[in-house]
A and B are shown apart, each in its own frame.
Chain A
């Protein structure tokens, strides 16, 4: 009889494991959204964070977390989450809107360096889609290009041949542009790492050590780009072009 018990035990154990994992990101998200609507912000935030612990992410999740932090009055965190949402989906309109509102609420004496109009257009164009969306565009463009080439070869009549040749060239151009943009976005994602200042007031130093000269101060919610790392220190470049070292614990990576 004892040998019978063993599989039953295993079955029960498996059941427990399964039921503990039963909380899918979707159901958790739903619960968290309900808590948000109930204005229990802390509860909602806890649940959203639980979803993140499942090693999944999505732009709406970060967006909702940003809203919750905003409601909690933690503007630095709200900005961080909106930026994370936008990292996954750069054209996420509600996140752009709320990010701007959150930015209005912080002390931000940093003026960004104005960029030339064509640089801005270039940046804006690349930021239209995320790396993944550009990659999908690339694949689709490539497929259409191949189909067009095949049709060009198969067709005998001259205007049809002309048409498919033009189409093939267009799709090839689209594919190349998508490849370029995807590469840029991918690079930004992987190599251009940005942080948000999480401390209310943060002193930026000239060296990666506590005794480095205090250069200037930045405030919660300010965005900066990491240019170097050393131990627990990060060298940051701010929007106004100023560079200095801060303790990694005082900033959070987007």
Chain B
């Protein structure tokens, strides 16, 4: 019974105990790799692990992994059945730096027990590693032949390592191989800091040619061809390019020494080949870029380097006003034509020129980029006349002649006819008075009248003084004027005022004399009344009383001349009566009435004409 139990126990557990004793947990790494190369690290365990943990690959970059595979093999030897299992964990790493590195142990748990592998050692060198000796047996699973550096490599060909800035340089990557490359894949394109690149790799399968290098015949395929244009001067590094190739390698046994027979018939369909992936690298290249010579550089140079031609054509030489013509400028040639831009052309002001439409027709050929850029300028004439479009010039640098050159075409003359006033379609078609731009007026130049900061004339002392002067003058004037008026009022004014009263008094007296019939006295009184009135009223001194003065005084006061005649007649009558013989005179009452009427009429006229004071 106990035996049975033991047997069962053995069957269930013994297997594990037995295996636990000699579990093999190994790591396999290449001995040496090149910097940047990718390699595999494989841990192999001949038991089924419950858990596997890989170390951290601090000195390497992990590309992929783990990929797990397992295999079981059963052997029957002398009726003894032996079953072996094998588990492998594979990582693909990339070597980052040179030096010797240790891959720390990995751990695996098998049946609850933890195992650790040995650490692995990898030497990373700068040169591509010499592959593991193909003849040396390696770890059973990874044992494979690797192609040598002479078997497959990439050469970088550069048309000119001393180009000018902007000059086209052809960079060609050629894959040289003595092996059968089934496929290749560019894993990493070179970096191009400071370069403008155009891919000019012919499409389709690369053309295979044969070349002899160091006495060996290689098959050569151009895997990449580029046109690069340096954008600055100085050293520009074209980075390394990494290519992953699938190389068909003869299997291990085919390479064994002694199998000369098979080698001789190499390539027979019965060959057993093994396809491995192999990493090839094109080393970095340095371009020493020269600056463009400053000497002789034209003002309108925009950076074109190469060989160019310029052709310009105007589609019509004569047109109607407000019609459109097209000036087509075609710049063709080889070089950095894609970067071509035309300088500003000065067109006559009467032509409205729109920004050009740009089209390109640029091809990538083996020799580099060539083609043409086409600039279409639409020109609309806004006035009539003959306008000259100056010659179109484009400057470029010719690296072969190491000199600046100018391509030119034209000039053209454009005949514009028609009536500019009929500008229906373009309301702003008339050039005159059209606003080109708004800008501020120019500064004030010339004389400036300065004033004290913050000073205001209004309410200043000066202002009050100036304002007071007219008022003061007015007051002074009024005072003087008043005084003068009073003085004149005393002498003349009073007399004038009294003139009527005096006259009335005298006339009354005369009337009394008339009643008393004192003839002489009466005429004298009338005479004095008339004379006195005019003397007082018209302000004529008695000494200057004569007929002429009276007439002119009447006239200056705009008294009708009829009145003056009447007045003078009255005077004359009185004089005549006084000295004439008796009985010859006019009747006294008539004279009296006449004198009264005259005075009243004069008084009326004077009042009409003069303001009464």
- A residues apposed to B, CB below 8 Å: 25-26, 29, 33, 36, 52, 55-58, 60-61, 63-64, 67-68, 70, 88, 94, 97-98, 101-102, 131-132, 134-136, 138-139, 142-143, 145-147, 149-150, 153-154, 156, 158, 161, 182-183, 185-186, 189-190
Contact with A along B449-487 (1 / 0, CB 8 A): 111111011110001001101110110011001000000
* B479 CB, nearest partner CB in chain A, Å: 12
26 contacts between A and B (CB under 8 A): A33-B445, A36-B443, A55-B453, A56-B450, A57-B454, A60-B444, A60-B448, A63-B443, A63-B444, A64-B444, A67-B443, A68-B443, A88-B451, A94-B444, A101-B438, A102-B440, A135-B457, A136-B457, A139-B463, A146-B471, A146-B474, A150-B481, A153-B481, A182-B458, A186-B456, A186-B459
Once the chains are docked, how many angstroms separate the CA of A135 from the CA of B611? 38
Instruction: Assess whether B441 is interfacial by the CB under 8 Å rule.
Output: yes
Let me know if B439 is at the binding interface, CB within 8 A.
yes
Cross-chain contact B443 with A135 (CB below 8 angstroms): no
Q: Is the pair B474, A57 in contact by a Cβ cutoff of 8 Å?
A: no
- Does B450 contact A94, Cβ atoms closer than 8 Å? no
| B449: chain A residues within 8 A (beta carbon) | 58
Q: How far is the CA of A129 from the CA of B465 in the complex (A)?
A: 21
CA distance A56 to B451 in the complex (A): 5
By the criterion of a CB under 8 Å from any partner CB, how many residues of chain B are at the interface?
34
- The CA of A154 and the CA of B447, in the complex, are separated in Å by 44
Interfacial chain B residues near A154, Cβ < 8 Å: 481
Cα–Cα, bound, A143→B474 (Å): 9
Q: Once the chains are docked, how many angstroms separate the CA of A195 from the CA of B200?
A: 66
Q: Kindly state the separation between the CA atoms of A88 and B299 in the bound complex, as whole angstroms.
A: 49
A150/B474 in contact, CB under 8 A: yes
- Selected from A68, A139, A153, A156, the residue in CB contact (under 8 A) with B467 is A139
**Smallest CB separation, B265 vs chain A (Å):** 85
Q: B470: which of A55, A56, A146, A182 is its contact (CB, 8 Å)?
A: A146
For the complex, give the distance between the alpha carbons of A134 and B456 in Å: 11
* Chain B residues near A (Cβ < 8 Å): 438-445, 447-454, 456-459, 463, 466-467, 469-471, 473-474, 477-478, 481, 609-611
Q: In this complex, what residue of A is CB-closest to B444?
A: A60
Main secondary structure of the interface of A (DSSP, over half): helix
B470 → A minimal CB distance (Å): 4
Chain A: minimal CB distance from B351 (Å): 29
Please count the residue pairs between chain A and chain B whose beta carbons lie under 8 angstroms apart in the complex. Answer: 98
B223, chain A: closest CB distance, angstroms: 55
A143 and B443 contacting across the interface, CB-CB below 8 Å:
no
Pair B467/A131 contact, Cβ less than 8 Å:
no
Cβ B453 vs Cβ A138 within 8 A: no
Tell me the smallest distance from the CB of B475 to a CB of chain A, in Å: 9
> B452 to chain A: closest CB distance in Å?
6
Minimal Cβ-Cβ distance residue in A for B440: A98
Q: Do B440 and A67 have beta carbons less than 8 Å apart? A: yes
For the complex, give the distance between the alpha carbons of A188 and B73 in Å: 110
Residues of chain A contacted by B481 (CB below 8 angstroms): 150, 153-154
Known: A56-B450, A132-B457, A134-B458. A94 touches B463 (CB 8 A): no
In whole angstroms, how far apart are the Cα atoms of A68 and B444 in the complex? 11
CB contacts (< 8 Å) of A52 on chain B: these are 453
What is the CA–CA distance of A63 and B444 in the complex, to the nearest angstrom? 7
How many Å lie between the Cα of A136 and that of B209 in the bound state? 103
A156 to B458, CA, bound (A): 38
- Does the CB pair A138–B467 fall under 8 Å? yes
| Contact status A145-B448, CB under 8 Å | no
B452 close to A55 (CB less than 8 A) = yes
Q: Give the nearest-CB partner of A190 in chain B.
A: B456
Q: Kindly identify which residue among A56, A101, A131, A147 contacts B439, using a CB–CB cutoff of 8 Å.
A: A101
Asked if residues B450 and A58 are in contact (CB atoms below 8 Å), the reply is yes
9 closest A-B pairs by CB? A60-B444, A135-B458, A132-B457, A146-B470, A143-B470, A94-B441, A98-B440, A64-B443, A56-B450
Contacts of B466 in A (CB 8 A): 139
Once the chains are docked, how many angstroms separate the CA of A143 from the CA of B445?
Answer: 34
A57–B451 contact, CB under 8 A?
yes
Least Cβ–Cβ distance between A178 and chain B, in angstroms: 10
B445 proximity list for chain A (CB < 8 A): 33
Given A60-B444, A64-B443, 16 more pairs with CB closer than 8 A? A25-B448, A36-B443, A52-B453, A56-B450, A56-B451, A56-B453, A57-B451, A97-B441, A136-B457, A138-B467, A142-B470, A142-B471, A150-B481, A153-B478, A182-B458, A190-B456
Q: Cβ of B450: which chain A residues have Cβ within 8 Å of it?
A: 25-26, 56-58
A70 to chain B, nearest CB (A): 5
Chain B: CB-nearest residue to A66: B440
Chain B residue nearest to A136 (CB atoms) is B457
Q: Please, which residues of chain A bring their CB within 8 A of the CB of B474?
A: 146, 149-150
Partner of A33, one of B438, B443, B454, B611: B443
State in angstroms the CA–CA spacing of A39 and B526 once bound together. 99
User: Contacts of A33 on B, CB cut-off 8 Å?
Assistant: 443, 445
The residues of A that contact B610 with a CB separation of less than 8 Å are: 156
Cα A165 to Cα B133 in complex, Å, equals: 133
B213 to chain A, nearest CB (A): 66
Q: Closest residue to B458 on the A side, CB-wise?
A: A135
A147 closest partner in B (C-beta): B470
List B contacts of A145 (CB < 8 A): 470
For the complex, give the distance between the alpha carbons of A55 and B450 in Å.
Answer: 10
In the complex, chain B residues whose CB is within 8 Å of the CB of A135:
457-459, 463
Most chain A Cβ neighbours within 10 Å, of B442, B471, B478, B609:
B442
Quick check: B477 and A150 within 8 Å, CB to CB? yes
Q: A98–B439 Cα gap in the complex (Å)?
A: 8
Counting chain B CB atoms within 10 Å of each CB, which of A88, A146, A182 scores highest? A146
In Å, the complex CA distance between A154 and B444 comes to: 49
